[in-house]
Structure 1
Amino acid sequence: MPSSGAFFASSWSGGKDGCFARWVSSQSGAKPACLLTMLKEGEQRTSAHGLHQDVLQAQADCLGTPIIFGSAGFGGYEQGLKKALATAIDEYSVSHLAFGDIDLDAHKDWYDRILEETAIQTCYPLWHYDRKQLLKDMFSAGQETMIVSVKNESLDQSFLGQILTPSLADEIEAKGICPTGEEGDFHSLVINGPDFKQPLSVKKADIWQDDWGHSVLELSPA
């Protein structure tokens, strides 16, 4: 957890875990300075969620927080991330980068190694948070989340565009899928929450297929 008064950036995909980690950190007294999103090189989309840069910019505007967009191609992620982090330090005096990871050790170890070579410390406000309790706390805090991508072998396209509610989480769990999506079975976009200045409005368009077996709902700012 960032220390009270520290300026922190949030590792940002637009999804529920990173957004809630930002909220939890700010509740401890740390100061959210900016969001940091890595895009695919030559494109204006995130890799995992397939979200367009315009949607993430609109989301950042709803939060009243600046967003830094880095980019990286195959094999160049570390260099691209470090460049974006240098911007966060120079422009926003950031000392920590907050992640929404819960219990994936390999992911945590990888980022810890990368950031050891920078002036920024990693922090994981949701680390070892009970998954079911995490969802309950998100709902209680008023975080509103839309499902925007599903793994085809796990969930069908009918889940795309739905708001994650307790009843929908139960439906997902009944299919043998973790309702938090921590195994990558679905990805999300937060459209409202306790730290939003106003809700994010989006327009839904076509569904397309990414290169990793996911159906992705095309969105744009409304």
Structure 2
Amino acid sequence: MEKIYASLISGGKDSVYATYLAIKSGINVVYGVNVIPKRDDSYMFHYPNAHLAPVITEAIGLKPVILEVSGEKEREVTELRDFLRDLHVHGIIAGALASKYQKERLERICKELNIELYAPLWGRDPIEHLKDIISAGFKVIIVGVYGLGLEDLLGVEIDENVIERLAYISRRYGIHIAGEGGEFETLVTDGPIFRRRIIIESYNIRKGLSWAYMIINKYKVIEK
């Protein structure tokens, strides 16, 4: 019997790219687990535009399974564990790149459930990681900014020039160049594993003194 995997898909660049690498390596990815936190300050999961994660999962061709969590530290980890126990998969795929907090908790979940963790991005050089995503053909939009120097990048598609800009901002302000510290969040609208692409038609912007994010309220899904 072929092993069944579920990918933790937030709709951001890392979770989608990890899913791509898993599929490319021959892993049988069946589900996309879309975790939607009730709080915008979740330690583990993306909040902005979480409602689009199932749309992206379906566009990739996976079956979306939606989990709403409290967004409270540690409690949300337990909620994910209990959900995965009932899903009966052999392993999960995660886009953890440098966050020890995230990876350690996912490892703990997998150990408790006796399932495998596939985290192909872990420890990668962040600049090369961003370049790999773009060169593979993914369309990645920055939909949330939470750090100094990033304000002008809201709504911008990541390309080579943007990567250079992020490298400069990283050197100047000390942010993680790939946003692993929560400095910015992304949304993937197209890529080589997408059967359909997503077009953003309208959005609102919510902002504070040092942060801003897009709230996408209208989009369409187009066959490729």
The two structures have a TM-score, normalised by structure 1, of 0.84
Would the aligned equivalents of 1:49 and 1:148 in 2 still touch at CA under 8 Å? Answer: no
Partner of 1:118: 113
Query: 1:20 aligned to 2:20?
Result: no
Aligned residue type for 2:21: V
Q: CA deviation at 1:100?
A: 0.7
Contact kept, 8 Å, 1:154 with 1:185, in 2: the verdict is no
1:153 Cα deviation after fit: 3.3
Shift of 1:140: 1.6
Name the structure 2 match of 1:203.
201
The residue aligned with 1:216 is 213
Inter-partner Cα distance in structure 2 for 1:190 and 1:219: 13
Measured in 2, the distance between the counterparts of 1:87 and 1:200 equals 31
- Aligned amino acid, residue 60 of structure 1: T
User: Cα offset for 1:146?
Assistant: 0.4
- Following superposition, the deviation at residue 198 of structure 1 comes to 1.8
User: Quick one: which of 176, 185, 188 aligns to 1:187?
Assistant: 185
1:106 aligns with 2:101: yes
Pairwise CA distance, 1:86: 3.0
**d(CA) in 1 for partners of 2:93, 2:211:** 26
Q: Is the 8 A contact 2:34 2:54 kept in 1?
A: no
1:11·1:36 contact (CA, 8 Å) conserved in 2? Answer: yes
Q: Is the 8 A contact 1:14 1:189 kept in 2?
A: yes
The 8 Å contact of residues 36 and 46 in structure 2, kept in 1 or not, is answered as no
Q: Which amino acid aligns with 1:170?
A: E
| Percent of paired sites with the same residue | 22
Pairing partner for 2:167 from 169, 173, 182 = 173
What CA distance in whole angstroms lies between the structure 1 residues aligned with 2:62 and 2:114?
Answer: 22
Match of 1:57 in 2: 54
Per the alignment, in what secondary structure is the counterpart of residue 175 of structure 1? helix
Equivalence for 1:130: 125
Distance 1:170 1:126 in 2: 20
1:162 aligns with 2:159: no
Question: Where do 5+ consecutive residues of structure 2 fail to align?
Answer: none
TM-score by length of 2: 0.83
Instruction: Describe the shift of the 1:42–1:170 C-alpha distance in structure 2 as closer, same or farther (beyond 3 A).
Output: closer
Q: Give the drift of 1:168.
A: 1.0
Q: How far is 1:138 from its partner? A: 1.0
Task: Note if contact 2:10-2:45 (Cα within 8 Å) is conserved in structure 1.
Answer: no
- 1:18 Cα deviation after fit: 0.8
Q: 1:57 to 1:171 in 2, by over 3 A?
A: same
Q: 2:106 & 2:210 partners in 1: Cα distance?
A: 25
Aligned counterparts of 2:9 and 2:26: Cα–Cα separation in 1: 20
Cα 1:52–1:130 shift into 2, 3 Å? closer
CA contact (8 A) 2:54 2:66 kept: no
Counterpart of 1:183, as a letter, is G
Corresponding position of 1:139: 134
Q: Flag structure 1 segments of 5+ consecutive residues without an equivalent.
A: none
Residue 154 of structure 1 and its aligned partner are, at CA, apart by 4.3
The Cα shift of 1:167 comes to 0.5
Match of residue 64, structure 2, among 57, 67, 79: 67
Contact 2:39 2:47 (C-alpha < 8 Å) held by counterparts: no
C-alpha displacement of 1:178? 3.7
